[in-house]
Amino acid sequence: MASDLECDVLVVGAGPSGSVTAKFAAQNGANVLMIEKRQEIGSPVRCGEGISKAWLPEVGITPSPRWINVEVEGARIFSPSEKVFEVNERDAGNEVGYVIERDAFDKALAIDAGNAGAEIMLKTHAVNVLKENGRIAGVKAKQYGQEFNIHAKITIGADGFESQVGRWAGLPTNLQVKDMDSCLQYRMTNIDSDERYCDFYLGECAPGGYVWIFPKGDHLANVGIGVQVSKIKSQAEVKALLDKWIDRHPGYAKGKKIDMVAGAVSISPPIKQAVTDGMMLVGDAARMIDPITGGGIANGCIAGKVAGEVAAKAVKEGNYSKDRLMEYERGWRAKIEEKQYRNWLAKEKLVTLPDEVFDKVIDSLQGQSVEKLNVLNILKLVKEKHPELTKEFADFL
C-alpha cells in the first residue's frame, strides 16, 4: 500500500490549463502537486494545434521556436461552393497566429510549472474525489497499481474534455449532444495547401462544425473535421465525412497520412458553476472552449492563471470555502463568459444555416477586410450585410 500524500493545491491533469494553474499557484507561494495519468505530458496530441497570439503575454507564455511550427498571416473561410472569404492582417504587417507543436507546447508549460516549484507525478490517475465535512479534500489516486489518497486544501480539476473530477464533485459539467463536436484529424504530408493561412470549410461537408487545414510547413498540415454530435446519424460517420472531403480535393487526396488523432470539444454556453467548497475547475473540464472555433487552449490558460493566483491566496488565508473561491468564478467569467456566450448564440444560429445561405453570406463578404482577425469582427461584418442572421445575438455585437 502506497502512503498518502498531502499538498496545498492539487492539480489533476497536466494539459495547458493544469500547467498554467500549477505554475501560478506555485509562483505565489503554494505547495503544489500536479498529477497526470499519462506517461508523457502532451502526448498523444489531440489537437488541431492552431492558436492566436494576442493572449500569450497575459498568461506569461513566451513564444518559443521549440513549439512554433508556422506563423500564419490569416484565415480563409470557404463556403460550400468554395467561395473564399479571406481575412488577414497582412496589410497591418501582423502575423495573427501560430500553428504549434502541441506536445512540445504542453511540455514547455509543464516545465514552467515545475520550475516555479510545482511537483509533478506521471502515470497517476485520479479515480475519485475525497470528501471531508462536505468539502472536496483531494482525490483518491492510483499509480503503478497502488491506490492512495492525496489530501489537498484545494483541488483543481484540469482533466480536460473527459473530465470526471467535476462530475464526482457534483458540478454541472454535463453537456447536451448539440453542444459537443466529435473530431477526427489526419496529419498529412505531400499536400497542396497555402501555408500562409489556416483554412476552414463550412456547410454540409461537416454538419454543425467545419473541416480545417492548419499548415505545419513543408507541405505538411493538420487536416481535420468536427461534427456536431446531434447531427451524427450513423457509426463512424465523422471519419467517413473527413475521408469524403479529402477524396473530393485532389490537392489533399494525393497526400499521405502520418498521424491520426481524434477527440471531442464542447461548443456550449459557459457552465453555471465552476467552484465548490475546496475545488475549482479549469479549461475543458469547465467547458471553456470557444463554441465557434472549437479552440480551448487560450481560454484554459487564461482561466488557469486566475485559478492559480486565487488558490495561492486562499491557502495563505486558510480559507478554502466556495465563498472564498468565488473570486476565481468571478475572475474567469470577467475574461471569458460574455464572449463564450455570444459565440454560443452565434453557433446556435450557424448550425441551422443551409449551404445556400453559407454561400450567399461568404459571397457577400468577399473583398471585405477586418482590422483585427477575430470571431467578433467577422460576426460584425455578417451583421452589416445580413442583419437577419445575427438578430438573436445582435446586442452582443
Partner 1 sequence: MNKKHLHIVSKGDICLSCGACVGICPLDTIYLNEWRIEFDEVKCTRCSICVNACPVGAISIGPETCTHSNMTGTSFPGR
Ligand X SMILES: Cc1cc2nc3c(=O)[nH]c(=O)nc-3n(C[C@H](O)[C@H](O)[C@H](O)COP(=O)(O)OP(=O)(O)OC[C@H]3O[C@@H](n4cnc5c(N)ncnc54)[C@H](O)[C@@H]3O)c2cc1C
Helix (H) or strand (E) holding 8: strand 5-12
For residue 290, the number of C-alpha atoms closer than 13 Å in the C-beta half-sphere is 20
* Contact map string, positions 85 to 124, toward partner 1, x by CB under 8 A: --------------------------------------x-
Q: How far is the CB of 284 from partner 1 (least distance, A)?
A: 8
Is the Cβ–Cβ distance between 13 and 29 less than 8 Å? no
Which position among 17, 79, 182, 193 is part of the footprint of partner 1 (CB under 8 A)?
A: 182
Reference 339, options 374, 369, 383; nearest CA is 374
Q: Binding residue for partner 1 (CB under 8 A) from 76, 83, 239, 333?
A: 239
| Angstrom distances, CA of residue 21 to CA of 112, 170, 344, 352 | 11, 21, 25, 37
Number of residues that bind partner 1 (CB under 8 A): 36
Which segment (69-77, 158-166, 319-327, 388-396) binds ligand X by CB under 6 A? Answer: 158-166
Q: Work out which of 30, 47, 292, 361 binds ligand X, going by CB under 6 A.
A: 47
Q: Which is it for strands 220-228 and 180-189: parallel, antiparallel or unpaired?
A: antiparallel
Of 10, 17, 33, 350, which lies in the binding site for ligand X, with binding defined by CB under 6 A? Answer: 17
- Under the binding rule (CB under 6 A), the answer on residue 138 touching ligand X is no
**To the nearest whole angstrom, how small is the minimum distance from the Cβ of residue 27 to ligand X?**
18
**DSSP per position, 315-368:** HHHT--SHHHHHHHHHHHIIIIIHHHHHHHHHHHHHTT--HHHHHHHHHHHTT-
How many residues are recorded in the chain?
Answer: 397
Check residue 191 for interaction with partner 1 (CB under 8 A).
no
Grid cell in block for residue 126 = 485520479
Of the residues 105, 161, 252, 393, which one makes contact with partner 1 according to CB under 8 A: 161
Q: Is 229 in the site for ligand X (CB under 6 A)?
A: no
**∠389-354-161 over CA atoms, to 5°?**
85
Could you tell me the CA-to-CA distances from 345 to 47, 171, 201, 300, 327 in Å, in that order?
A: 24, 23, 20, 20, 26
Return the residue of 5, 22, 32, 48 that touches ligand X, per CB under 6 A.
48
Please identify which residue in 56, 232, 353, 397 interacts with partner 1, judged by CB under 8 A.
232
208 binds ligand X (CB under 6 A): no
Q: How far apart are the first and last CA of the chain?
A: 57
Task: Give yes or no for residue 50 binding ligand X (CB under 6 A).
Answer: yes
Contact footprint for partner 1 (CB under 8 A)? 37-39, 44, 46, 123, 125, 160-164, 167-168, 174-175, 177, 180, 182-184, 229, 232-239, 260-264, 266
Contact footprint for ligand X (CB under 6 A)? 12-18, 35-38, 46-51, 125-126, 158-162, 164, 183, 185, 224, 261, 263-265, 283-285, 289, 294-298, 300
